[in-house]
Amino acid sequence: MIEAMHRALFGVVALIGSAACGASSDDSGAGGAGAGAAAGGGGGAGTSGSGEGGGTVPGGPVVTREFSDSGEELLNPERGFYDGVALVGGGSFDHVRAAGRTLAYSGVHLDAYRDAPLDAAFLDELGAGFAKARQAGIKIVLRFVYNDGPYPVSDPDAPLARVLEHLQQLAPVLAANEDVIAVMQAGLIGAWGEWHSSTNGLDSPANKETILDALLDALPVSRMTQVRTPNAKSDIFGPALTAAQAFDGSKQARTGHHNDCFLASASDFGTYPSPIETWKQYVADDGRFTPIGGETCALNAPRTDCPEATQEMELLHWSFLNALYNQGVLDGWQAQGCLPEVKRRLGYRFALGSASYSQRVRPGGVLALDVSVTNTGYASPFNARPVFVVLDDGSTRHAARLASPDPRRWAAGASVTFSSRLRVPASLAEGTYTLGLWLPDDAASLQARADSAVRFANAGVWSDGVNVMADDLAIDAGAPGDADPGATEFVELP
């Protein structure tokens, strides 16, 4: 019954031909031929599939399955609308996932420490807040601030030496909780921590660079920051990121953008200097590889209306947006009908296009796999995330990490294909297995949690954190192909 249901959902196409699945991988973000094509047929990459494919490989017959996008809204990590929580002095964070969100913004106030080092009680309470986020299954968009405005007359921030001291004190807490930090906004300087109106001269070019440098030293190298305006990053690092520079661990590659007055005026209330379109393109180029997010702050039709709003989120690669502000803008999207699209497309949205695989494999034999995935979201993931192939017989799960695919480079609006050959253990019991893709969190503390893994936008594939591509893979001693009787692990072959 279960097998029949899966076959109905997946739409099985099984053809036998005479081609082989290669071991190379292409995860550059460029569109490519579908898995069926690589296996010897004409299946096109994409969410609906456009042809049939099949073939044989050294291990035996290949089956190709094609998939379509379900159109449903998905609860996926590190993307979408965000809620708000108080890391220090707050209650439970369970309301965030209950509202269908995986992110929460927390502006942590350092007002009481403008003239003093952070004390142990504060640091302990901050750590306890991160623990509550971990328990609730969410991640934090983090910002440290010394005041909440108002602009242009602001309460004080802190002297430069104090800011640098606080960052050194925060570094151990940030390192201990990097798993639940989605991104840390630069903050600290001026009104709302938005890098203007400093009462201590922190918004000078030299002090901005000094603070950003110290912040990135304090923040684990696995995590990125966001600055409030694109020229603030350009003044320090120069031109926008290239694909070759992306994710190289440099401070430039770890700096993205937040916009807290998205669509509010032609310049987004000063977010973009003149020429505006040049600076938007800077953010669009950076947004291919860094986090872009923030909030709306004022109605400004037609710019805040659906057509321009969705076009700009797509152009700039928005990953997350405040669900609580500005309510007038969000209500307008609801009334005009684009809010469901925004909910679906903020950040990444991965869907299987097709999967070709060896239907029968000997114990110790080789499983050939060729997969196409389409990203119809506005952006790509901005934090590292591994890709595993999973075999499961209902009682035991075997996972093999793939070396080449990097979901951060599965570009918005593009399809990618990747191929692999995997050795199965010689001790693997004969029987029928499911074959899936597992994209868990990169942190060991979260990897076992299904709610931290990425769910693909295909109906009927999600099962306990794994996206099941097939339910009929047979481990069969009578299957064709050679085998390694000494193989002890499920691993990708070089």
136's tokens? 């609730």
15's tokens? 């053809």
Is the pLDDT score of 123 beyond 70?
yes
**Per-residue pLDDT tens for 367-424?**
999 999 999 999 999 999 999 999 999 999 999 999 999 999 999 999 999 999 999 9
Average pLDDT of span 469-482 = 96
Residue of 492, 349, 359, 478 whose CA lies nearest to 411: 349
Q: What is the pTM of this model?
A: 0.89
**Per-residue pLDDT tens for 422-445?**
999 999 999 999 999 999 999 999
pLDDT of 21: 32
Residue of 27, 26, 23, 22 whose CA lies nearest to 38: 22
User: What residue spans define the domains of the chain?
Assistant: 2-72+349-492, 80-345
Give the H or E element holding residue 98: helix 94-98
pLDDT classification of 60: cutoffs 50, 70, 90: low
**CATH of span 80-345:** 3.20.20
Residue of 282, 362, 298, 353 whose CA lies nearest to 330: 298
pLDDT of 58: 55
CA distance 170 to 488: 44
Distances (CA, A) of 409 to 45, 244, 313, 347, 403: 16, 11, 18, 13, 14
pLDDT classification of 61: cutoffs 50, 70, 90: confident
Mean predicted lDDT score pLDDT of the chain: 90
Out of 3.90.1150.10, 3.30.420.40, 3.40.50.1100, 2.60.40.770, the CATH code matching 2-72+349-492 is: 2.60.40.770
CB neighbours of 257 closer than 8 A, spacing ≥ 6? 226, 227, 228, 229, 230, 233, 283, 286, 287, 290, 291, 292
